[in-house]
């Protein structure tokens, strides 16, 4: 028993706590390293999106039917490349086209009638001008004759007065004086007859001119009505042509057809029915939706992020590096929209196409593990207490 105890004392004296001290020193060194990392190191803090997907720079354009009708032809095929204005779906517009042809025929008839009326107006204007000129010439001739008759009557009156003076002096017989008086009366009556004829001619001229002017105004009234009817029909034709154009659905932008509705010839489609979607050509971007508490005030333009595509293992394919481009300021449907630009699309081994979904992680800050633990503790302490626990 004494032998064993003496050996233990010699072992303890020989060891002198060397290994224990080494173990304590090593543990202290590791603890110092860990505390240095805990307080001094910086770790990246990420915000994860609710949803994310790849989109082209321009918004996809939905193709829908603007009117109801039966399908005559459909060229909507998945992944088909289209240009602006390419025919996609043609609907039956026979009834509208028939009405359009009727209106065009009416306009053609009105145009012919309008041409005839305008010719009639030109002819009547010319006839009116000729009548005015002819009547003016006739009036001037009648006035000239009246002036001649009036001068003859005045001369006869002077001759009568001269002969009456000679008669009173006894130089001329009474018969000769009476004959001069008779001639004077005849000349005066002739002048009065010409005056009445001139007045009647002027009245007839005014009536004739008024009648011709009324005919011209009536023709112009018919022309105005024809023109008004033609304008109304032209407006109807424009509306019908627009209706016909609505029966032809064309590509709103250049791009590729991203989805389609199965359409058969003769199938009836309703107004506003979805027919397909055209994905415009252009560069691809990332669009992500974040909770307001994760995005507002935390995600800023210029921050780096990475996109992990669904269906492509990030262990095998890696993630897509992106940069925050724009951040929405107003939540929509409970999320905030964030748009990001691809840093190097060619570096990813898979073709990045519109519509690919994924998950986006945005590096919002770098903090020490100690600050992160304190922040988590603060969130736990500040969390509201459920009413059942009060």
Beta strand 69-74 pairing with 304-309: unpaired
Same domain, residue pair 258 and 286: no
At 32-75, the pLDDT tens digits run: 888 777 777 777 788 888 899 988 877 788 899 999 999 999 88
The model's confidence at residue 168, banded by pLDDT at 50, 70 and 90, is low
**Residue 16 confidence (pLDDT):** 52
**Residue 290 confidence (pLDDT):** 92
Measuring CA to CA, which residue among 311, 336, 312, 310 is closest to residue 324?
A: 336
DSSP conformational letter for 252: S
CATH number, position 151: 1.10.287
78 in any annotated domain: yes
15 in any annotated domain: no
Same domain, residue pair 236 and 253: no
Measuring CA to CA, which residue among 214, 329, 245, 219 is closest to residue 67?
A: 245
* Residue 348 pLDDT > 70: yes
* Residue 335 pLDDT > 80: yes
* 194 or 226, higher pLDDT: 226
Same domain, residue pair 99 and 242: yes
85 in any annotated domain: yes
Same domain, residue pair 231 and 257: no
At 237-265, the pLDDT tens digits run: 999 889 989 899 999 888 888 888 888 88
Helix (H, G, I), strand (E, B) or coil at 314: helix
In this structure, what token pair is assigned to residue 45? 């803090």
At 222-242, the pLDDT tens digits run: 888 888 888 898 999 999 889
pTM, to two decimals? 0.56
**Residue 42 confidence (pLDDT):** 79
Same domain, residue pair 264 and 202: no
Measuring CA to CA, which residue among 244, 250, 246, 247 is closest to residue 86?
A: 250
**Residue 196 confidence (pLDDT):** 78
Mean pLDDT over all residues of the chain? 81
Average of per-residue pLDDT across 352-372: 83
Domain, as residue range, for 128: 95-246
């Amino acid at each position: 028993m004494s032998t064993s105890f003496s050996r233990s004392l010699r072992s303890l004296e020989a060891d002198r706590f060397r290994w224990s001290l080494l173990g304590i020193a090593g543990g202290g060194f590791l603890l110092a390293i860990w505390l240095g990392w805990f307080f001094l190191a910086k770790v990246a803090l990420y915000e994860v999106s609710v949803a994310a997907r790849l989109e082209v720079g321009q918004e996809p354009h939905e193709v829908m039917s603007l009117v109801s009708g039966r399908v005559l032809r459909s060229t909507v095929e998945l992944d088909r490349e289209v240009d602006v204005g390419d025919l996609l779906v043609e609907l039956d517009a026979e009834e509208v086209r028939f009405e359009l042809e009727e209106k065009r025929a009416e306009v053609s008839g009105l145009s012919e009638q309008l041409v005839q009326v305008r010719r009639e107006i030109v002819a009547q204007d010319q006839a009116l001008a000729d009548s005015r000129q002819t009547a003016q010439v006739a009036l001037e001739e009648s006035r000239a004759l009246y002036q001649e008759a009036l001068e003859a009557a005045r001369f006869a009156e002077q001759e009568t007065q001269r002969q009456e003076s000679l008669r009173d002096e006894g130089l001329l017989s009474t018969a000769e004086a009476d004959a001069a008086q008779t001639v004077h009366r005849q000349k005066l009556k002739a002048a009065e007859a010409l005056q009445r004829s001139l007045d009647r001619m002027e009245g007839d001229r005014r009536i004739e001119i008024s009648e011709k002017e009324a005919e011209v105004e009536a023709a112009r009234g018919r022309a105005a009505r024809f023109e008004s009817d033609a304008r109304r029909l032209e407006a109807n034709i424009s509306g019908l042509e627009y209706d016909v154009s609505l029966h032809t659905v064309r590509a709103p932008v250049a791009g590729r057809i991203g989805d389609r509705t199965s359409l058969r010839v003769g199938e009836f489609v309703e107004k506003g029915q979805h027919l397909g979607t055209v994905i415009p050509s252009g560069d691809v971007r990332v669009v992500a939706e974040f909770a307001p508490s994760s995005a507002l005030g935390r995600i800023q333009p210029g921050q780096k992020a990475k996109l992990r595509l669904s269906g492509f293992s990030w262990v095998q394919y890696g993630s897509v590096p992106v940069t925050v481009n724009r951040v929405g300021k107003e939540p929509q449907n409970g999320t905030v929209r964030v748009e990001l630009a691809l840093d190097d699309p060619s570096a990813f081994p898979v073709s990045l196409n519109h519509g690919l979904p994924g998950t986006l992680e945005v590096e919002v800050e770098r903090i020490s593990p100690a600050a992160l633990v304190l922040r988590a503790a603060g969130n736990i302490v500040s969390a509201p207490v459920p009413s059942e626990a009060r």
